[in-house]
Amino acid sequence: MILNSRIAIITGASRGLGAATAEALVQKNAIVYGLARRADDLKVIHSNLGESFIPIPVDITNKPEVDRWFQTTFSNRYWPDILINNAGSGNFGKIDELPFEMWQQMVDTNLNGMYYITSATVPYMKQNPKTCHIINIGSILGTTGRTESSAYCATKFGLRGFSESLSYELRYEGIKVSAIHPGSIETRFFSESGIKSHSNMLQPKDIADLLIHTLETPDNMLIDEITLRPLNPKKLT
């Protein structure tokens, strides 16, 4: 895909990997609708990136709010080309200690929110004559279990099955679906999720560059899944 003038939707665009990906896409002259709950954080990104970044304060767990935004933004003549399902929530703890609300928040954001956004996007992509691309940001914890991570793993394993099934379903509609499973990334995710960070984590910009490469592959090439991790997460930098 040539990214110039393409229309992208990125969830969780207010910081971390989502913000880095928004920046990388704007540098490629794409138009980015950046979704997140915190309007102030989105405004800062908008002032840094300019008019090509359109801030959309939306909670992806609120289906009516999501549907309203799609209906007032897209039409049968204005379609998204790219969807990056990046917004995610992570909380860790023993199964008998993790508060139910945290389980619910992870399922609501990582699975239900992704479903609301994707199911609203696909009808527009099906009308788009150009090849479209959906990228779902999973986690290495969607490929392997980890102690005190059952809820987060359940959502990210779920994302993996969702992506693979969707990829088979949408390939003949000219819509690619890729799942990316990163290891630890240096973002606020760690400080807010209650697990220990490492000294040498993956950098959001480097993963954003990988996403750009994945999007720029020829139309008839599908990268369906990538797992990536720091080579030496404990190295002192």
Q: How far apart are the C-alpha atoms of 133 and 4, rounded to whole Å?
A: 14
User: Per rule CB under 6 A, is residue 37 in the interface with ligand NAP?
Assistant: yes
- Spatial contact of 197 and 191, defined as CB atoms under 8 Å apart: yes
Amino acid making up residue 193: S
- Spatial contact of 37 and 87, defined as CB atoms under 8 Å apart: no
What are 88's two structure tokens? 């995610």
User: Per rule CB under 6 A, is residue 196 in the interface with ligand NAP?
Assistant: no
CB atoms within 10 A of CB 23: 19
Total residues in contact with ligand NAP, by rule CB under 6 A: 31
Which of 9, 17, 102, 151 forms a contact with ligand NAP (CB under 6 A)? Answer: 17
8-state DSSP, 141: G
For the chain, the first-to-last Cα distance in angstroms comes to 36
Active site residue 152: yes
Stretch that binds ligand NAP, among 122-130, 160-168, 188-196, 220-228 (CB under 6 A): 188-196
* Choice among 116, 124, 152, 172 that is catalytic: 152
Site for ligand NAP in 97-116 (CB under 6 A): 109, 113
Which of 116, 187, 208, 210 forms a contact with ligand NAP (CB under 6 A)? Answer: 187
Which of 22, 30, 35, 82 forms a contact with ligand NAP (CB under 6 A)? Answer: 35
Shortest CB 156 distance to ligand NAP, Å = 7
- CA-wise closest residue to 86 among 131, 129, 6, 24: 24
Site for ligand NAP in 126-155 (CB under 6 A): 137, 139
User: Per rule CB under 6 A, is residue 184 in the interface with ligand NAP?
Assistant: yes
- CA-wise closest residue to 217 among 141, 133, 151, 107: 133
Which of 1, 3, 7, 11 forms a contact with ligand NAP (CB under 6 A)? Answer: 11
H or E segment and range at residue 83 = strand 82-85
For ligand NAP, the binding residues (CB under 6 A) are 11-12, 14-18, 35-38, 41, 59-61, 86-90, 109, 113, 137, 139, 182, 184-185, 187-189, 192
